[in-house]
Structure 1
Amino acid sequence: MEGASPATFRPTPQQAFGHGLYLGVLGAVASVGMAVIIALFGSGPPGWMWAALVLGSLLIGAVAGLAAGRRTGVEVGAGGIRTSSVFAEGVAPWSRVVDLRAERRGRRNVVSVYLDSGASVQLHAPYSGGLFAADPQFELKVFALSHLWRSHRFGGLPG
């Protein structure tokens, strides 16, 4: 298993797009809110500018979500589980992982890794939820993660 390439789990393109749209909506609310405040104290932007504020924010958010989705993920290899996101990275060596399971957190099903220190780490991928967060292969990915963990934890499966 030492020579095998690591397994990688990333948000699906649909999940990355949905996350980007969410960020885009937040940006649209902020930009339209700022434009409303400016309009209250002076002349407001022209009519076409309101649509540009909303659509531009949504477009920028969707593109940013797709770009961030390529950097966010989990890599499982011989050394352990490596998580990466836009802002941070972390490694959990196999010797510290005592349990790995799928859990319901809010409106999503996520994979949590429990460490020997008692801490739990929620993996960035795979996950599944409603609408854009749905991943039809979530159970297969959890099974693959569980199999990899058990193989490293217990020294492989009997043949």
Structure 2
Amino acid sequence: MEGASPATFRPTWQQGVGHGLYLGVFGAAVSVTTGVLAALLWSRPPAWMWAALIAAPLLVGAVAGLLAGRRTGIEVGDGGIRTSSVFEEGVAPWSHVVDLRAERRGRRTVVSVYLDSGATVRLHAPYSGGLFAADPQFELKVCALSHLWRSHRFGGLPG
């Protein structure tokens, strides 16, 4: 299976929207604070301006979360596990992977890869949590990852 295409895992669209809304709340807090300061210093803005100061950052955050979710994820291929996100990329070759398991980190269950150097790499996907972070197929994805790792560790994929 030398020419097999790599398996790809990315956050679900709900996870992307949830992450974007989470960041959008901070943007809305900053814009409303700025609006309050501007209203105190100058004049009263119209009522629609307050709605825009709240809704615009949330909408921008949701769209940005969806776009970032398409860029974030992992590819599992013959060479190992390649992680990618908006800000960083990395590779964990199969020869360095000692263990792969699902772990609870805060309010999420994530997949961690343990390397022979003692380092731990937390994968960007798959993960599961509450509300928007839930992934109904998380267990299937972890099972597939585990199968691919074991197949590469103990002699490659069956032909």
Local SS of the residue matching 1:74? strand
Q: Which residue of 2 aligns with 1:151?
A: 151
Tell me by how many angstroms 1:91 deviates: 0.5
Distance 2:82 2:156 in 1: 20
**RMSD between aligned residues:** 1.4
- Asked if residue 45 in structure 1 is aligned to residue 57 in structure 2, the reply is no
Within 5 Å, give how 1:71-82 maps onto structure 2: 71-82=71-82
Distance 1:73 1:120 in 2: 17
Local SS of the residue matching 1:23? helix
Q: Which residue of 2 aligns with 1:132?
A: 132
Tell me by how many angstroms 1:47 deviates: 1.5
Tell me by how many angstroms 1:37 deviates: 2.0
Q: Which residue of 2 aligns with 1:25?
A: 25
Distance 2:148 2:45 in 1: 56
Gaps of 5+ in 2: none
Distance 1:57 1:116 in 2: 43
Give the TM-score normalised by the residue count of structure 2. Answer: 0.95
Contact map agreement 1:36 1:44 (CA 8 A) in 2: no
Local SS of the residue matching 1:4? coil
Gaps of 5+ in 1: none
Tell me by how many angstroms 1:115 deviates: 0.7
- Asked if residue 103 in structure 1 is aligned to residue 103 in structure 2, the reply is yes
**Moved runs in structure 1, 4+ residues, more than 4 A?**
none
Distance 2:50 2:103 in 1: 42
Give the TM-score normalised by the residue count of structure 1. Answer: 0.95
Q: What is the CA deviation profile of residues 108-127 of structure 1, one whole-angstrom value per residue up to 9, with x for unaligned ones?
A: 00000011110101000000
Report how many residues are paired: 159
Within 5 Å, give how 1:56-71 maps onto structure 2: 56-71=56-71
Tell me by how many angstroms 1:82 deviates: 0.3
% of aligned pairs identical?
A: 82
Q: AA paired with 1:143?
A: C
Q: AA paired with 2:132?
A: F
